[in-house]
Chain A
Amino acid sequence: MPDTACSYRLKLSNGQGWNILSDEHNRAWTERFASILNLSTVTSDEESFMLTFVRNQKDKSEGSPGVHIEVPANLNRKASVFTMWKSILPIYKQAIMAKGVPIHSALIEHDKKGFLLAAPGGTGKTTCCNRLPTDWNAHCDDETLLVWNGEDNSYKGHPFPTWSNFYLDRPPWDWEVERSLQVNGIFFLQQSKVDSIEYLGQGKSAALIYQASSQICRRIWNELDSGQSEELKKHLFTLAGDVARQIPAFILNVSLDGMFWELIADASASAERLRS
């Protein structure tokens, strides 16, 4: 049975809400999960999806709604982080159904505008985040969930944790998962000796957005049969194309000592001028 005293809510800017619950065995574990995501103990009567952590799938109550994630007793640290990382996937799946796209990227902010720095691991997302000047903020350095908001026809980015930090004993960030920022540009990072930037056409951008998303979503489709997996990939490619048509994208060649953020600000301002 869910422990109603241990209930957290995650609300995304597209209106999707999650109630995150625990059975009586997993209270401490769920509190830790919620603290990493900066969730508060809010109960809500609003219609929400349910995510419940149970000790054993057999323990879930008959007809109990929503997703149940099994958290076995005495998990070691790595297994515990792996289970938390996996617990995010149902949230991503529902967002994808509502035109959202999880992207392997950092989410940074300047002048209340959000920008994604997308790249495979080891390219320099974290280094770029750490090098930003004080009037810029980095909200996450690895995973951003882009959600589509039909009311104002915009994409907003939510920062999600860098789970590998917990494996590698790196200091955790303050990931405020419920916080969102309108995304005004996507920048695909490439290491370089000299900083430079180039505008990407929408087709090329769509292909790169799909690639950056598949680096996260392969965790989802690895658990599906081949038919379901292909359907999800097709859907994701279509969504990547929609994002590419709406958000300007660039290749950002980044050196170790240049001021790449100035290129981002300039490119974003130019793209805005072109639109207006």
Chain B
Amino acid sequence: MNDTNLYRTNPSLIIRDDFDDFAILFDPHSGKAFGLNPIGELIWKSLKNEGSIENILQQIESDCCNIPETAESDVLAFIDKLENHGLIGRRI
């Protein structure tokens, strides 16, 4: 299992979560905006607080129902996407 403590959120990003559809993560450097559904928002905020994959999965279990068996791999795939967009980086 990957350890999310290896990751760090890009400190220049801002998140706005008071909309009626998505939370929006905004990168002022590129000017790009990314929509986050509630699970994406939960993962982002957890990464920001240096939460581990275990923490994220526990939180999903406590907040959500009908959790798919693929939850862990879905979370890891999402984290990969965040990394590919430069929204998080690996700690060195």
Binding site for B on A (CB under 8 A): 201-204, 206-207, 210-211, 214, 230-231, 233-234, 237-238, 241, 244-245
Contact = CB atoms under 8 A, between A and B. Distances in A.
Contact of A203 (B14, B28, B29, B35): B35
Dominant SS among interface residues on chain B: loop
B40 to A, nearest CB: 12
Contacts of A238: 14, 16
B21 A202 contact: yes
Interface of B: 12, 14, 16, 18-24, 26, 28-29, 31, 33, 35
Given A230-B12, A237-B14, A238-B16, A203 B31 contact: no
A211 B27 CA distance: 12
Nearest to A218: B31
B28 A241 contact: no
A94 to B, nearest CB: 21
B33 A206 contact: yes
**Which 3 A-B pairs have CB atoms at the shortest separation, nearest pair first?**
A201-B21, A203-B22, A202-B19
Dominant SS among interface residues on chain A: helix
A204 B18 contact: no
B14 A234 contact: yes
A234 B15 CA distance: 10
A245 B26 CA distance: 16
Contacts of B23: 203
B16 A241 contact: yes
B21 A245 contact: no
A222 to B, nearest CB: 12
A237 B27 CA distance: 10
